[in-house]
Amino acid sequence: LAAFTAPYDRPGYALFQAHCQRLIADAELERRHVRQRAVGLAPLGERGWRVETSEGGLEARRVLLALGLSEQPAWPDWARRLRAEGGPVRHVFDSDFHTATLPAWRRAVVFGGGITAAQLALTLSVRQPGAVTLLMPHPARVHQFDSDPGWLGPKCMRAFDAEPSVVARRQMIREARHRGSMPLDVHRDIRRAARYGEIQRLEARVAAAAVTNGDIRLVLDNGDCLTTDSLLLATGLDARRPGGDWLDAAIAAWALPTAPCGYPVVSRALRWARGLYVMGPLAELELGPTARNIAGARKAADRLAQGAERQRAKRQAAA
Ligand SMILES: Cc1cc2nc3c(=O)[nH]c(=O)nc-3n(C[C@H](O)[C@H](O)[C@H](O)COP(=O)(O)OP(=O)(O)OC[C@H]3O[C@@H](n4cnc5c(N)ncnc54)[C@H](O)[C@@H]3O)c2cc1C
């Protein structure tokens, strides 16, 4: 179980899963887990907030919004049109997408330039070697991490923390992220797979796309054409603020402060309003580019715990 992978001795998948299961059990999260969709948010004054759900309301003195981007797969416009026409196109981050249950294909095309596209193409090529094309819209961007590890600590965060403008902070986050990148070992794997004919690797953008006789025909910007009966998008997640309509309505109704990019402007303690807190992507203007990752979740948890501790100390001092 305790398998680690070079470089950086990364924990293997099974170990990570076991660790998560252990945390869930220790904190008895199953017992506390309410499975409902939040559809509204309203303040209750001193009593905190009421979260409307599809099956009634939940009231709490403190509410923490920890919405991720996982429900927002990014679809290029041309792919949306193909989907609307009933073409065989799917996004790897669709909730019902499972590689193992993908029906057999004649020619699968994986579209994307980052680690997810590369790993998906490699996985599929094991099932049907030689019948997978990895279509990358840009040359490989090789980076070991999503962003410089300096963002985990003061090396990069000092300047971010000192920056008062949320517009400038957004720009710093944008520049820090290595979007559509892959680590060196994965890059080596796709080069090897292409050399041995297990995958076909192309670098081009899609200039036009159409559904013809149930297949998809892609015209590439280098003039080439590709026909596929299984187009798989690995085009990442849409970076717009998560939450959608109900959060838009709450922001408007309760004057919750947001930056021009739409994301919350929160205090150092991740407080958006009295009794209302954020973490994950919603906290990125405060936590920086790692906010969406596990490291960011740890930073957020530390700040929330420190904030709660300060409030407790204040209450005790006042008593
Ligand atoms: C392919 C891939 C690989 C990654 N690898 C790493 C990695 O190696 N290391 C790392 O640190 N990070 C990695 N990440 C980033 C990863 O997304 C985060 O680390 C982590 O999963 C984020 O967790 P989260 O809880 O913030 O967000 P999510 O996992 O997106 O969870 C948000 C949850 O909120 C729920 N939700 C949303 N709206 C509502 C609503 N209205 N009502 C109720 N529930 C709602 C969603 O259903 C979801 O369950 C990876 C991401 C991807 C896509």
Cβ of 31 closer than 6 Å to ligand 1, yes or no, is no
Instruction: Please give the number of the atom of ligand 1 that sits closest to the Cα of 37.
Output: 42
User: Hey, is 72 helix, strand or coil?
Assistant: coil
In angstroms, the CA 39 to CA 53 distance is: 5
Q: Is 58 helix (H, G, I), strand (E, B) or coil?
A: strand
Angle at 312 between CA 306 and CA 318, to 5 degrees: 135
pLDDT digits (tens, 9 = 90+) for 43-97: 999 999 999 998 899 999 999 999 999 999 999 999 999 999 999 999 999 999 9
For residues 28, 32, 35, 39, the Cα torsion angle rounded to the nearest 10 degrees is -140
**Is the CB–ligand 1 distance for residue 52 below 6 Å?**
no
Ligand 1 atom closest to 116 (CA): 1
Q: Is any atom of ligand 1 closer than 6 Å to the C-beta of 294?
A: yes
Say if CB 121 and CB 199 are below 8 A apart.
yes
- CB 287 less than 6 A from any atom of ligand 1: no
67 lines ligand 1 (CB under 6 A): yes
Whether the CB-CB separation of 232 and 271 falls below 8 Å is answered with no
What is the bridge-based pairing of β-strands 230-233 and 89-91? parallel
146 C-alpha to ligand 1 centroid (Å): 15
Taking the centre of ligand 1 as the mean of its atom positions, its distance from the CA of residue 216, in whole angstroms, is 31
Residue 276 has a pLDDT of: 98
Letter string b/e over residues 84-100, b meaning 16 or more CB atoms within 10 A of that residue's CB: eeebbbbbbbeeeeeee
The sign of the CA dihedral 257, 260, 263, 267 is negative
pLDDT of residue 7: 82
Q: Determine whether the shortest distance from the Cβ of 207 to ligand 1 is under 6 A.
A: no
What spacing in Å lies between the alpha carbon of 110 and ligand 1's midpoint? 22
Sketch the domain layout of the chain as residue ranges: 1-33, 77-143+178-233
Q: Closest by alpha carbon to 233, among 87, 125, 101, 76?
A: 76
Candidates 271, 267, 270, 273; CA nearest to 251 is 273
For the CA atoms of 132, 133, 136, 140, the dihedral, rounded to the nearest 10 degrees, stands at: 70
pLDDT value of residue 310: 92
pLDDT, one tens digit for every residue, the chain (319 residues) = 778 988 888 899 999 999 999 999 999 999 999 999 999 999 999 999 999 998 899 999 999 999 999 999 999 999 999 999 999 999 999 999 999 999 999 999 999 999 999 999 999 999 999 999 999 999 999 999 999 999 999 999 999 999 999 999 999 999 999 999 999 999 999 999 999 999 999 999 999 999 999 999 999 999 999 999 999 999 999 999 999 999 999 999 999 999 999 999 999 999 999 999 999 999 999 999 999 999 999 999 999 999 999 989 998 999 8
User: For position 277, what pLDDT does the model report?
Assistant: 98
292/8 Cα distance (integer angstroms): 20
Give, for ligand 1, the residue of 294, 298, 299 to mutate: max count of ligand atoms closer than 8 Å to Cβ. Answer: 294
> Under DSSP, is residue 288 helix (H, G, I), strand (E, B) or coil?
coil
3-state secondary structure of 309: helix
CA of 224 to the centre of ligand 1 (A): 37
SS3 state at 163: coil
Tracing tokens 């819209």 back to the chain, one arrives at: 137
CA atoms within 13 A on the CB side of 34: 12
Q: Are 202 and 136 in contact (CB under 8 A)?
A: yes
Nearest CA to ligand 1 atom 21: 293
Q: Is residue 38 lining ligand 1, measured as CB closer than 6 Å?
A: yes
Residue having the nearest C-alpha atom to atom 47 of ligand 1: 71
In residues, how long is the chain?
319
d(CA 193, CA 188): 9
Q: Which of 85, 133, 79, 131 is nearest to 105 (CA)?
A: 131
CB 278 within 8 A of CB 68: no
Structural class in CATH, domain 77-143+178-233: alpha beta
